[in-house]
Amino acid sequence: MPSSVPLRSRLADTRRSRLALRARELASGWAAGSHRADRKGSGVEFAGHRAYTPGDDLRHLDRHALLRHKQLLIREFFTDTERGLHLVVDVTSSMHYRGRDESKASAERETKAERALLLAAALAHVGREAGDHLGLSWISDGARKTQKPKGGAEAFEHIMHELVSLDQDLSTRAPTEKKSEQEGGGANFEDLFRELGSAIPRGTIVVVLSDLLDLDRAQIRSLSALCTRKRTVRAAQILTPEEVEFPFDGALRFLDLESGREVETDGGQVKTDYIERLEAYTADIRKQLLAQGGQLIRARTDEDPKDTLRHLASGAASER
């Protein structure tokens, strides 16, 4: 690269290519055809019989069944078809938490938002390979953006560009900027989910990549409401090991990253209570999603992202 290119731009390109490379590497092995659509039609895999109705294609009329049962039966097949995949990425302040990973250098640690962007990019690759229509929504403190699912390479490139931009934005943000955003206003998930409920088409798979730590009951209801119109919601709760295990001890004063709430406590004494509260909260979301046909998985930042991607992608494939 010529030396006249500004350093920031070079770093941005490097980062873009890194995210893209990691996402493509992560998504490799996932191809079209491996995902079965939920529509039956002119595919190759036999799906069963049904009674003939006028207007059916006579090519699918089962002659053997007519001779055997003297009934007009139509043979049905599963068909591989394009389906919308909408990615919802949470980049609010709570997603900037990096956690503590003593085995790695500080610069190599991954924030929850970075993990969410990586998974989103990888899923976008998987969706493009499957020929799905791709859509993207992201939400930050006081801002959000939605791109409705579209097919084609242009939509994929647009989504990748958006994800890389968010990634760059994360890397250039300073803690003070985060604070000012906090003060500027919180993320409104309820509005986002309502907007998506009317904007994204029927049958779309909605993948939510968030820590889901700050949802109130109304927001959880609006999330599960996305499951209407044959849509499926796959939520990945991305947490750091510290948030799952609470390895703190001694006198501590915690400050909530989004609400600014302050709690003084004793780490060793409240560990069990904390874990119980977190699990109860997560179980409540999972229960509501399951009731609507959705799914919630937990993704830890210290786990291999491939596992999370496998869970999300296989889940999505099973829905087709």
Under 8 Å between Cβ of 293 and 229: no
Burial 144-159 (b: 16+ CB within 10 A, else e): bebbbbeeeeebbeeb
Q: What is the DSSP letter of 201?
A: P
Under 8 Å between Cβ of 257 and 96: yes
- Could you tell me how far CA 262 lies from the centroid of its own chain? 30
Position 129 contacts other proteins (CB under 8 A): no
Q: Among residues 214, 220, 298, 309, which is the contact residue for other proteins, using CB under 8 A?
A: 214
Position 109 contacts other proteins (CB under 8 A): yes
Terminal alpha carbon distance of the chain: 44
Which residue is listed with tokens 């046909």?
293
Position 169 contacts other proteins (CB under 8 A): no
Q: Among residues 80, 181, 211, 319, which is the contact residue for other proteins, using CB under 8 A?
A: 211
Is beta strand 133-140 parallel, antiparallel or unpaired with respect to 84-90?
A: parallel
Q: Among residues 45, 177, 266, 307, which is the contact residue for other proteins, using CB under 8 A?
A: 266
Number of residues that bind other proteins (CB under 8 A): 47
Considering the complex, state which of residue 24 and residue 98 has its C-beta at the smaller distance from other proteins.
Answer: 98
Q: Which stretch binds other proteins (CB under 8 A): 130-138, 191-199, 200-208, 242-250?
A: 242-250
108/98 Cα distance (integer angstroms): 10
Of 64-93, binders to other proteins (CB under 8 A) are 93
Position 175 contacts other proteins (CB under 8 A): yes
Position 243 contacts other proteins (CB under 8 A): yes
Position 168 contacts other proteins (CB under 8 A): no
**Phi, psi dihedrals of residue 122, rounded to the nearest 5°:** -65, -45
Position 141 contacts other proteins (CB under 8 A): no
Position 97 contacts other proteins (CB under 8 A): yes
Shortest spacing between CB 320 and other proteins, in angstroms:
34
Under 8 Å between Cβ of 320 and 133: no
219 CB neighbour count, 10 Å cutoff: 20
Site residues (CB under 8 A) for other proteins? 93-100, 106, 109, 111-112, 175, 211, 213-214, 239-240, 242-243, 247-259, 261-267, 269-270, 273-274, 277-278, 281
